[in-house]
Amino acid sequence: MQDEQAVHAVDEWLPLRWSLPLGFQQLLAAYASIIIAPLVLAAALDWPQEQTTFLIASGLFGSGVATLIQCLGLPGLPVGTRLPVVQGTTVAVIPPLIAIGANGDLTAMFGGTIVGGAICLMLAGSWSRLLRFFPPLVTGTVITVIGVSLLPVAVMWLSGGRGFGAQETSVAELGLGLGTLLLVLLVMRFGSDFLSRTAILVGLVAGSLIGAMLGMSDFSGVASAGWVSVPLPFSFGPPTFTVAACAAMTVTMLVTMVESTGDYLAIGEVCEQHVDEKRLAAGLRAEGLGTIIGGLFNAFPFTTFSQNIGVIRVSGVRSRYVVAITGLMLIALSLAPKAAALVANIPTPVLGGCGLVLFGSIAATGIQTLRRVDFEHTGNVLTVGISLGAAMLVVANPIYFSALPKAVADILNNPITLGAACAVLLNLVFNGRGAADKPGPNSDGAPVNTVG
C-alpha cells in the first residue's frame, strides 16, 4: 500500500538540474503570450519603442509576482491555489485597453486594471460557490473547449503568425514548424526520462537555432535593448479612475474569471488535485491581487495561461515549485531587457509546432474527463456538442456578436466564456441540479468523481 504520508507530486521538490530546465520550458511556452498584449497595444496606439520595451518588462515582472503568489500562496491567507499555475497578461484586455488608450490617457488604463483586480478579489468567495454548477459534464466540456479554441492559434503560428484565415506559408515556415513538431514527438517517444519531460524545451531551443540560421529571427531588438531595467510603481504617474475605464476593465475581469475557472479545473484534472470552492476562491483572489499589483507596476490584468497546462500534461511534471522557479525567471527577465529581447526571437512556426502538442493535450484532458459522463443520455451529448459548436462559432468569426451592445458582445465573443456558459445552462436544462455522470460500480447510482 502506498505510504499515506508520501508527498503529492504537486508539492514535490525536484533537484535544480531538473527544476531549472523544466521551469525555463514553462517560461518559453508562456513568453509569447505574455508580451503579445503590450506589442499589440503599442502598434494600435502608436507607442514609442522605449515605452513599449518598458511595458513589456513591467508585464514580465507582474507575471512573475502573480505566478509566485499562485504557486506558493501567502502565509496564513486563503490566497493562491498552491498549484503549478503560470499567470500572464490576458489577451481579453486588448480591445478595452485600446478603447481607453485611444484618448491618450495611459494612467486610466492602469486605474481600470487596479479596479478590475479589486473586483475580482472581492467577488472570489461568492464566485467560487458557482462550482456546484461544474460537474464532470461541464468541466470536461469547458476543458475541451479551451484546448480546441486554442488550436487555431497554433495553426496561425505554424503559418508564420500573420493572422488568422487563409495564409500563404513558405517552404521554410512549413519545414520549421512541422520539423519542430516531429522533433518534439521523437524526443517524447525515444528520449531519456529527463529529455522526454523537457521535449517542448528541446523543440523550442532547437527550432529557434534553426530558424536563426534560416534568417527567420530579427535580433535588432536585442542590440537596442538596455542591460538593466527596474520596473517601478507609477512610472507614468498616479493611476486615474475614469468611469468608462473602470467599467470596461470590470467586465473584462468577469469574463476572465469564467475562463480562469475552467483553467483551474483543468489544472486540477491534470495534477490529480481536487479543486473545490475553497481552492477556486483562493486562485481567484490571487488573480485579483496579481492584477492589482500589475496595475501599480504599469502592467495589465493577469489570468491563468492554458498553454502551460499543456506543458504539465505533456511533461508529467506537476511540481508547483518548478513553476515558482518560472516566476522567478520572469522577474529576472524583467530586469534584463536584452535577455528578454533574445527570448522574444522564437520564430512563430516553432511556437506553432509546440502549440499543436500543448493545446491538443488540453483538449485530450477534457475528453478524458468526459469519459465519466453517461452519453446514453441524449441531453449530455447535446450539451457537449452544442457547447463546442458555440465556441467554434466565435473562433471562426471573432466578431459574430458585434451587432449586440458592446458590453454583451465583449462577453459573448470569447469562445471559452461562451462555451462554458452554454455547458452550464444546457446541463441545468437537461439534468437540473442532478448528476450527468456514470454511476459508480459499487454504489447505488450515486455519481462518482463529481467536481464541486
Domain presence at residue 311 = yes
Q: Is residue 234 left, alpha or beta, with left meaning phi > 0 and alpha meaning psi from -120 to 50?
A: left
CA distances from 340 to 161, 210, 214, 250 (A): 20, 20, 21, 30
Per residue of the chain (452 residues), give pLDDT as tens: 344 457 888 898 988 988 999 898 888 878 777 877 777 677 667 777 677 778 888 889 999 999 999 999 999 899 999 999 999 887 677 767 777 777 767 888 899 999 999 999 999 988 888 878 878 888 888 878 878 887 887 888 888 877 677 777 788 888 888 999 999 899 888 877 777 777 777 888 888 889 888 888 777 767 776 787 778 888 888 998 988 788 878 877 887 887 788 889 889 888 888 888 899 999 999 999 999 999 999 888 898 887 788 888 888 888 999 999 999 999 998 888 777 677 667 788 888 888 888 788 778 878 888 888 888 888 899 999 999 999 899 888 888 888 888 777 877 877 877 888 899 899 999 988 655 566 544 333 333 333 32
Sequence-ordered list of residues with C-beta below 8 angstroms from that of 126, at least 6 positions apart, any chain:
none
Task: Say whether 186 sits in a helix, a strand or coil.
Answer: helix
Give the separation between CA 410 and CA 201, rounded to whole angstroms: 35
Rg of the chain (C-alpha set): 21
Domain presence at residue 449 = no
Per-residue confidence (pLDDT) for residue 448, from 0 to 100: 33
CA distances from 396 to 46, 153, 164, 204, 392 (A): 29, 12, 9, 28, 6
Kindly state the cell numbers that stand for 405: 451592445
Domain presence at residue 37 = yes
Per-residue confidence (pLDDT) for residue 40, from 0 to 100: 65
- Residue 303 CB: number of other CB atoms within 10 A? 28
Q: What are phi and psi of 430, to 5 degrees?
A: -90, -25
Which residue pairs, CB below 8 angstroms and at least 24 apart, start in 125-128? Answer: 125/281, 127/257, 127/261, 127/280, 127/281, 127/284, 128/277, 128/278, 128/280, 128/281, 128/284
Per-residue confidence (pLDDT) for residue 72, from 0 to 100: 94
Q: Are 347 and 175 in contact (CB under 8 A)?
A: no
Both ends of the chain: CA-CA distance in Å?
28
Domain presence at residue 126 = yes
Domain presence at residue 445 = no
Q: Taking Cα atoms as reference points, which of 363, 422, 428 lies closest to residue 390? A: 422
Per-residue confidence (pLDDT) for residue 2, from 0 to 100: 44
Give the separation between CA 9 and CA 99, rounded to whole angstroms: 44
Domain presence at residue 437 = no
- Domain hosting 63: range is 11-431
Per-residue confidence (pLDDT) for residue 167, from 0 to 100: 75
DSSP letter for 438, please. P
Task: Say whether 272 sits in a helix, a strand or coil.
Answer: coil
Q: How many folded domains does the chain comprise?
A: 1
Domain presence at residue 436 = no
Domain presence at residue 448 = no
Per-residue confidence (pLDDT) for residue 305, from 0 to 100: 82
Give the separation between CA 307 and CA 232, rounded to whole angstroms: 29
Per-residue confidence (pLDDT) for residue 5, from 0 to 100: 56
